[in-house]
Structure 1
Amino acid sequence: MDQYKYRVVIADMNRENREAIERHIKSRHPDLYVIRSVSSGNRLVEVCDRHQPEIVILNVKLKAKDGLSAAKEVISRGHSPEWIGMADQEHLPVLLGNHELKFADYLMVPWIGERLSKSLGEAVARCGTASGRPFLQEGGGFVNTVKSYYKAKPIEIPERVLVFAQKKDKYVTRLFLSNGKVHHINSTLKDIQSQCTLGVFKAHKSFLVNIKYIEYVVASTQVSGNYDIHLVKNHYGLAIPLSKKMYPNFVRAKEFSNTLMSRILLDGIAH
């Protein structure tokens, strides 16, 4: 499996088709991660604004706003995912006649698994960076970022300064940063993790933790079989729970932290 997952959005009116595509991706493409599936053009624009996926599987037939119009709006807002166009036989000429979106590939509905895999391979090959993620350049190095919003205000946080994230309620997550500041954002832990490297892992149903800020992990004195994470410099003066179920996530993050790529993405060193 690649170290990073390419984020995918599926846009199709047909729920069964969306679910079938997602199942195919989960079973055949471990380097891909479906962050959202939508049925309307307006929702596609919202999701691309919020998550900036690397790949969009786009059916020309969508609710409220057709797929091509929605895709053009996504591009007008400064986003540039790789597009896989999808249409039935009736609408395929419309899709093939559009050159503005520069599709990575086309699919005719009903599709077959081998053809979908080929299209996904074409899109992955065209993704712009080694990890398929957009990075900010800072001081000559690459810096991965978490993008979200709070009360309609956009927020962008470099992953390397994120110590941990805690779910506050269904709609709000708190980000605890290395400078002592705490940001509230309207994103779920799943949304945040989808934008991060393997160095930020799920330790508990309510916590994500950045491996670079962990000093040590010990057996929990409260829950048998669980663990407590203690942070370097006693950041925020608390132990973060690490459940037995989530312990393999910690192991993968620790392995990742020993790679050169983790130093580039988490620490922003020159590359």
Structure 2
Amino acid sequence: MPPRPDQAAPDSAVAPAVALSGVRHQYRAAGRDVLALDGIDLLIEPGEALAVVGPSGCGKSTLLRMIAGFLRPSHGRIDVGGAPVTRPGPDRGVVFQQPRLFPWLSVRANVAYGLREAGLPRPARTARVDELLELVGLADVGGLRPYELSGGMQQRAAIARALAPDPGILLLDEPFAALDALTRERLQEELRGIWLRTGKTLVLVTHSVDEAALLGSRIVVLSPRPGTVVLDERSQLPRAEHPRAAPEFAARRERVLAAVRGAH
């Protein structure tokens, strides 16, 4: 039986969920070559919640998009489940900064969209959507359109849609950045609860040191461009209703903040 995500450090004998070896990414902009990431080596264990934090332009989102299969590294290799990443796949769900829901479909139909396209029979599809809407707290609004929901509820629907194919890995690109502070805090705690209940591997990109300290069972800090790893720390917050009140949270936040400031 696999360990719960809130338990101790992962067993090194378990194959990594994601492996990045010597990854660098270069692109052309305004007629010149730009090196976004250089020399990234990471092993992300199954069930880990990896928070990647760093200054704007350090390559955080580029890293996430390469794991998702939207971009290819200029050099190096990215494996998911032991196989090289060559394109997007149902084993990786992606949540973007904006929900990107279909406005003409109901919340329920948005969550069910990928399942319907995959040919899942209606009874199984209905049961799966019911389960996910309950998980993200939207069971009573499934018949509404996205524009009838608040921003926070729309992002919950986007998380449910990403979870619908039951991916082993959930990739989140600053999913709460556009929300007000109170909604953001509430959804951070809800995402932490989803991770603890489902045991998914999470990779979260964020500008927020607080968000990284709260949600990451492991935190990686990247330097300014080209992004390189300047801090890689595993840590467990206690299973508490209000983890921000724990002394471990404040100490961890200060360590990460010092690493971000020192990277500039």
- Structure of greater Rg: 1
In the superposition, the TM-score normalised over structure 2's length comes to 0.28
Higher relative strand content? 1
